[in-house]
Amino acid sequence: MIYHFEEGSQECRIEFRDRTILLTVINEAVCRVTALNRGEQKPQRSAAIEGDKQKQTAIRIQKEETGIRLFTDKIQIAVEEDGRIGFFEREGRFLTGYLSEGEESGSCGEELTEQQKAFIGREGHETADVAENAVSVKMTLDEADCIYGLGDKTGVLNKREYEYEMWNTDNPAPHEDNFKALYKSVPFMMVLKEQGAYGLFFDNTEKSVFNLGKENTKYFTYHAVGGSLDYYFMTGDDLADIIGEYTGLTGRVPMPMLWTLGYHQSRWSYMNEGEVRELAENMKKYEIPCDCIHLDIDYMEQYKVFTWNRDSFSEPERMIEDLGRQGMKIVTIVDPGVKKEEGYSVFDEGVEKKYFATDGQGNLYVNEVWPGDAVYPDFGRIEVREWWGRQHKALLEKGVSGIWNDMNEPASFNGPLPDDVVFYDEETPSCHKTMHNVYGHYMSKATYEGLQKLDDRRPFVITRACYSGTQKYAVVWTGDNNSLWTHLRMAIPQLCNLGMSGFAFAGTDVGGFGSDVTSELLVRWYQVGCFSTLFRNHSAMGTRRQEPWLFGDESLRIIRKYIRLRYELLPYFYDLFYEHQKTGLPVMRPLVLEYSRDKNTHNLNDEFMVGSNLLVSPVVEQGQVKKLVYLPEGTWYDYWTKERIEGGGWIVADAPLDICPLYVKAGAVLPKYPVRSHIDESKDEKLILEVYPGEGTYYHYQDNGTDFAYEKGEYNLYRIVNSGNGDVKMETEHQGYREYGEIEIISVK
């Protein structure tokens, strides 16, 4: 092995007989490791990471007996003569390292048993159809390691001993724990160790498989069917540090429009204008706060994107204007599949300009989606994204406030797209096999950037398919769940892992999309949905309708209570998005993120936190009216009764149907709004600060909630100090926006 390193540079190039490894230090806690394929001089362009993330970092290289070691202030990386790499934290404590085939002991020095050795030598994997030139790596795991992240995968919070695939998949069957892949590919995992933590982002868009200690509990493997081994290693004391680094690389969710955090009502489909107007009337009649109605595919003429079905929506602009006066916004669905129909302008123009994917012979590639025969815009190309973005004028002109991107895995009804369908990676011809996992990513980017050009407002885009980094452009939902208790239970770890994978704005279809909901399940789902960032009730055609008032008075009363609670807590949610900008931390957090050294939190699947002050322990079992709640160390207050409870153990909480057990941390300041039927200008009239006994400091953020004026300083940032004895001091740290008309302080006794 020969290495090249120039003093003052942040790159070390290590040449082996058959390959080159490039270590590129991004900052003191993050190093990119690239194994260059033969003939490659530099790493490939990343779809996930935009702009130069490298910070000036002092590094040192030391020659060792069997290789070299790179040092930053936070990481040590040892590269051995045989190509193995070991990762250590700043003091030299081993974190993880490569194991080669048949190797007897890892860099951790741990002896493997005979049986484990046999496993390591074993070829092939149940699901990994790994090609010959496959990318493959095997790295050690310690006994106490827990694994989190990986986006929207099904199952439990801690992914250790499970296996997942990264291949964006639209599978309409009920999502079970044994599903290997769903709609999103986020090849990012975090390992929480007894001491410290590390993260790995395998930036490769090809189909890949993570075997997280299932094959052997002493290691995990990562395989990809193509591309190169190109990953970012990051370390920190805790998961929070790793999330900060990962979102520093791949981006964070931009400040959302405030109303998007309100309640959304959807159905496949509200079929005509009358139905939509009636829905808005019912919201008023039943006193359900609501900010948005979603129009699913049937608003279009024959499912042709960017058109309106004029028979059922004769005057969309009038309808949207009238609804706007009632405080209701409209979001419309836009799928990628463009109907193959001559005379339809989007199709004609796309064909003329060669904007659609082609087969190997240069013919249009046609598959089937909602409109029947359809073609696929080639979103990897900048020009196509710009063209697509401009199409949204047709919707915005009518008054539409947000776009819901669906079917962008891309989905196809007539068999999967062949690997060799030609898609471009910018100006370079590529293929479906390589671009599949970034199709939804680039579609979201096209939509976000298109809306941004057409309007001053912060774009509101929802997407189903994603790759790492899509969080910069779109809010996500977890796709077609079912009205099943198992799916309500799954929503918690799934949203928590999405949040820890950068997707701070995410939700499930409240009530479940497929199958028929029961009143009890619906009520319990609202008690979870109300604390997840995207709060939308959506259901499938042919299933029992699930608007809040269809399940009797008692259900309606409880659902209303939780939607109202959401509206009260909106400033808290908004503050958490502000915090996310600064730190990358999600809004909805598993307890392990806040209390990672408390082992009881490592596998806690049915509780979560909103920020660091509110603990939510919903009932997710049919018929249950008591809930076993884990409260971490510290003092807590029951949100409903204000009873003081010492944490550090389990309690049995009363949880009749109208109670979702909720606890507030001592010293917390909860900012609240008076309940409103929707978000509007009056949001600045009054802020309520609910102050809990105990000491604490809280930051509250306020801006117009609509456009980008905050980037020019039009915002207020308040520092609120709770002295613990009833005394609250509020200082304005930044003043650039109008002040609240009134601030009411409520001291909890």
590 lines the binding site for ligand GLC (CB under 6 A) = no
Distance between CA atoms of residues 427 and 575, nearest Å = 40
Q: How far is the CB of 269 from ligand GLC (least distance, A)?
A: 7
DSSP 105: B
Select which of 206, 296, 480, 638 is catalytic: 480
Q: How far is the CB of 258 from ligand GLC (least distance, A)?
A: 24
Amino acid identity at 596: S
268 lines the binding site for ligand GLC (CB under 6 A) = yes
Burial category of 427 from C-beta neighbours within 10 Å (exposed 0-12, middle 13-18, buried 19 and up)? exposed
Among 145, 203, 245, 296, binds ligand GLC (CB under 6 A): 296
- Residue closer to ligand GLC, measured from CB, 294 or 566: 294
Distance between CA atoms of residues 236 and 74, nearest Å = 8
Q: Tell me, yes or no, if 406 is annotated catalytic.
A: yes
31 lines the binding site for ligand GLC (CB under 6 A) = no
Q: Tell me the per-residue interface mask from 666 to 705 with ligand GLC, x by CB under 6 A, - otherwise.
A: ----------------------------------------
Cβ-Cβ contacts under 8 Å for 499 (sequence gap 6 or more) = 506, 586, 587, 588, 589
Among 103, 425, 480, 575, binds ligand GLC (CB under 6 A): 480
510 lines the binding site for ligand GLC (CB under 6 A) = no
With CA atoms as reference, report the closest residue to 160 among 216, 201, 105, 94: 216
Q: How far is the CB of 462 from ligand GLC (least distance, A)?
A: 10
Map the footprint of ligand GLC across residues 230-249, applying CB under 6 A.
none
DSSP 681: G
Q: Tell me the per-residue interface mask from 401 to 440 with ligand GLC, x by CB under 6 A, - otherwise.
A: -----x----------------------------------
Q: Tell me, yes or no, if 373 is annotated catalytic.
A: no
- Residue closer to ligand GLC, measured from CB, 32 or 175: 175
- Residue closer to ligand GLC, measured from CB, 266 or 434: 266
Distance between CA atoms of residues 506 and 459, nearest Å = 15
- Residue closer to ligand GLC, measured from CB, 222 or 268: 268
Q: Which residue has the tokens 């068999």?
A: 415
- Residue closer to ligand GLC, measured from CB, 160 or 464: 464
Q: How far is the CB of 343 from ligand GLC (least distance, A)?
A: 24
Among 333, 431, 620, 660, binds ligand GLC (CB under 6 A): 333
Q: How far is the CB of 439 from ligand GLC (least distance, A)?
A: 15
Q: What pairs with residue 429 in β-bridges?
A: 424
- Residue closer to ligand GLC, measured from CB, 34 or 266: 266
Distance between CA atoms of residues 295 and 218, nearest Å = 49
Select which of 103, 206, 409, 703 is catalytic: 409
Burial category of 242 from C-beta neighbours within 10 Å (exposed 0-12, middle 13-18, buried 19 and up)? buried
Q: Which residues of 469-489 are buried (b: 16+ CB within 10 A; e: fewer)?
A: bbbbbbbbbbbbbbbbbebbb
Q: Which residue has the tokens 């929207």?
A: 152
Map the footprint of ligand GLC across residues 271-290, applying CB under 6 A.
none
Distance between CA atoms of residues 169 and 733, nearest Å = 46
Distance between CA atoms of residues 601 and 284, nearest Å = 41
E strand or H helix that includes residue 318: helix 316-325
Q: Which residue has the tokens 């499938």?
A: 540
Nearest residue by C-beta to ligand GLC? 268
Residues binding ligand GLC: number (CB under 6 A) = 10
479 lines the binding site for ligand GLC (CB under 6 A) = yes
Q: How far is the CB of 299 from ligand GLC (least distance, A)?
A: 10
Distance between CA atoms of residues 157 and 596, nearest Å = 13
Cis peptide before 316 (omega within 30 of 0): no
Distance between CA atoms of residues 605 and 588, nearest Å = 13
Give the sign of the dihedral formed by CA 524, CA 527, CA 530, CA 533: negative
Map the footprint of ligand GLC across residues 435-464, applying CB under 6 A.
464
Distance between CA atoms of residues 602 and 148, nearest Å = 10
- Residue closer to ligand GLC, measured from CB, 225 or 333: 333
Structural tokens at position 378 = 């080639």
Residues in the chain, overall count:
749
297 lines the binding site for ligand GLC (CB under 6 A) = yes
- Residue closer to ligand GLC, measured from CB, 410 or 611: 410
DSSP 573: H
Q: Tell me, yes or no, if 409 is annotated catalytic.
A: yes
Select which of 406, 425, 606, 638 is catalytic: 406
> What is the secondary structure of 613-633 as a DSSP string?
TEEE----STT--EEEEEE-S
Q: How far is the CB of 175 from ligand GLC (least distance, A)?
A: 12
547 lines the binding site for ligand GLC (CB under 6 A) = no
Burial category of 709 from C-beta neighbours within 10 Å (exposed 0-12, middle 13-18, buried 19 and up)? middle
- Residue closer to ligand GLC, measured from CB, 166 or 297: 297
- Residue closer to ligand GLC, measured from CB, 466 or 631: 466
Cβ distance 433 to 419 under 8 Å?
yes
Q: What pairs with residue 208 in β-bridges?
A: 166, 224
Q: How far is the CB of 421 from ligand GLC (least distance, A)?
A: 22
Structural tokens at position 147 = 């694994």
Q: How far is the CB of 688 from ligand GLC (least distance, A)?
A: 36
Distance between CA atoms of residues 296 and 294, nearest Å = 6
Map the footprint of ligand GLC across residues 708-747, applying CB under 6 A.
none
Q: How far is the CB of 272 from ligand GLC (least distance, A)?
A: 16
E strand or H helix that includes residue 527: helix 519-529
Q: How far is the CB of 23 from ligand GLC (least distance, A)?
A: 42
- Residue closer to ligand GLC, measured from CB, 392 or 700: 392
DSSP 684: G
Cβ distance 501 to 470 under 8 Å?
no
Q: How do strand 208-211 and strand 184-185 relate by DSSP bridges?
A: unpaired
Cβ-Cβ contacts under 8 Å for 227 (sequence gap 6 or more) = 44, 135, 204, 205, 206, 434
Number of other residues whose CB lies within 10 A of the CB of residue 441: 29
Distance between CA atoms of residues 350 and 377, nearest Å = 8
DSSP 491: H
Distance between CA atoms of residues 479 and 534, nearest Å = 13
Q: How far is the CB of 62 from ligand GLC (least distance, A)?
A: 53
- Residue closer to ligand GLC, measured from CB, 10 or 533: 533
- Residue closer to ligand GLC, measured from CB, 156 or 338: 338
Q: How far is the CB of 705 from ligand GLC (least distance, A)?
A: 27
Catalytic residue numbers? Answer: 406, 409, 480
Instruction: Give the binding site for ligand GLC (CB under 6 A).
Output: 268, 296-297, 333, 406, 464, 479-480, 513, 538
